[in-house]
Amino acid sequence: MTAQLTRRALILGAGATLAGCDAIARNAHVREALFSAENFHRWSQRALSDRQALAREFRPDQLSPIFRANGTANPNTDAYKAIWRTGFADWRLKVGGLVERPLSLSLAQLHALPHREQITRHDCVEGWSAIGKWRGVPLSLVLRAARLRDRARYIVFRCADDMGGGRFYYESIDLIDAFHPQTILAFALNDRALSVANGAPLRLRVERQLGYKHAKYLMEIHAVDTLAGIGQGKGGFWEDHAGYDWYAGI
Ligand SMILES: Nc1nc2c(c(=O)[nH]1)N[C@H]1C(S)=C(S)[C@@H](COP(=O)(O)O)O[C@H]1N2
Ligand SMILES: [Mo]
């Protein structure tokens, strides 16, 4: 599986890099220098390893006294209130789209999977940061269990909060971020069950990206081959409605 992923990531990385280089590559001399096996290897490896580097992790004494909430602080829909009332016992995370084995996972099932814990800094594009300790299930584990189909290129996260007019918050990431070791489905913040304000019962932590990518109130995860046709097609609620960049790497 690891070999398969590496190959998938390499194909993605190489594809993106090569596309912009067609003009240069038409010059034979440049092409020779650029695509010599040695150079190409170094070049593609560097692009990949930058994306795979870990976000900084902090010590417990560096935790922010409070982790503020931003954006939706309570979805307040009838559907959300119904699952909240049962302590999220009736909530299920649906995993579908381009997968061989669609899943429907309860909070108890997620708790039973291996966890990762990390103290990281959250950076919101609006200009505030907070250091928090997150615990959750690596997204890679869930995706491996669901078995992505070969055509899958993006993972889309559908949230419970209606941002107005039936437009629900959503986000998406590529497979490099999806399989990054610090990308987790978090159910605890600072050693407590995730509060409603911070995204209960489950939220994404994608530590190499800005705050708006960290989707709260997760309901469904979908593997897709294109972002076209989802919302306005830009890959996320704020990408669609405020022109935020889809790739918000930090
Ligand atoms: N479902 C959902 N996810 C969301 C948001 C939101 O409004 N709804 N806001 C985003 C933004 S802009 C930020 S900075 C973080 C804030 O997370 P926090 O409320 O735990 O601080 O969540 C992100 N994820
Ligand atoms: Mo944000």
Q: Which atom of ligand 1 is found nearest the CA of 130?
A: 21
- The Cβ of residue 229 has, within 10 Å, a number of other Cβ atoms equal to 8
Q: Which atom of ligand 1 is found nearest the CA of 197?
A: 19
Q: Is residue 114 part of a domain?
A: yes
- CB contact set of 75 (below 8 Å; sequence gap of 6+): 159, 160, 161, 162, 217
- The Cβ of residue 233 has, within 10 Å, a number of other Cβ atoms equal to 11
Assess whether pLDDT exceeds 50 at residue 187.
yes
- The Cβ of residue 221 has, within 10 Å, a number of other Cβ atoms equal to 26
Tens digits of per-residue pLDDT, 51-79?
Answer: 999 999 999 999 999 999 999 999 999 99
Q: Is residue 41 part of a domain?
A: no
In the numeric block, which tokens belong to residue 235? 């890959």
Q: Is residue 7 part of a domain?
A: yes
Q: Which of 4-8, 24-28, 166-170, 180-184 has the lowest mean pLDDT?
A: 4-8
Instruction: Please report the pLDDT score of residue 41 as a whole number.
Output: 67
DSSP annotation of 213: G
Q: Are 68 and 128 in contact (CB under 8 A)?
A: yes
Q: Is residue 191 part of a domain?
A: yes
Q: Which of 43-52, 66-75, 77-86 has the lowest mean pLDDT?
A: 43-52
Ligand 2 mean position to 70 CA, how many Å? 6
With tokens 């489905």, the residue in question is 185
Ligand 2 mean position to 82 CA, how many Å? 27
Q: Is residue 15 part of a domain?
A: yes
Q: Is residue 229 part of a domain?
A: yes
Q: Identify the residues whose C-beta falls under 6 Å from ligand 1.
A: 68-72, 124, 159, 161, 169, 198-199, 211-212, 214-217
Q: Are residues 121 and 181 in the same domain?
A: yes
Q: Are residues 23 and 144 in the same domain?
A: no
Q: Are residues 135 and 189 in the same domain?
A: yes
Instruction: Please report the pLDDT score of residue 174 as a whole number.
Output: 98
Count of structural domains, the chain = 2
Q: Are residues 17 and 85 in the same domain?
A: no
Q: Write down the number of H helices and E strands in the chain.
A: 9, 10
Q: Which atom of ligand 1 is found nearest the CA of 204?
A: 24
Q: Are residues 97 and 209 in the same domain?
A: yes
Can you give the CATH number for the domain in which 95 is found?
3.90.420.10
| Through-space distance between the first and last CA atoms of the chain, rounded to whole angstroms | 27
Instruction: Please report the pLDDT score of residue 49 as a whole number.
Output: 78
In the numeric block, which tokens belong to residue 219? 């309901």
Assess whether pLDDT exceeds 60 at residue 31.
no
Ligand 1 mean position to 220 CA, how many Å? 16
Confidence of residue 106 (pLDDT cuts 50, 70, 90): very high
Assess whether pLDDT exceeds 80 at residue 132.
yes
Gyration radius (Cα) of the chain, Å: 19
Alpha carbon distances (Å) from 37 to 12, 34, 44, 211: 18, 9, 11, 38
Q: Which atom of ligand 1 is found nearest the CA of 69?
A: 19
Q: Are residues 31 and 79 in the same domain?
A: no
Q: Is residue 49 part of a domain?
A: no
Q: Which has more confidence, 122 or 46? A: 122
Strands (E), 46-198: 93-97, 103-105, 116-123, 129-138, 154-162, 168-174, 183-189, 192-193
Ligand 1 mean position to 12 CA, how many Å? 28
Q: 172 lies in which domain range? A: 60-242
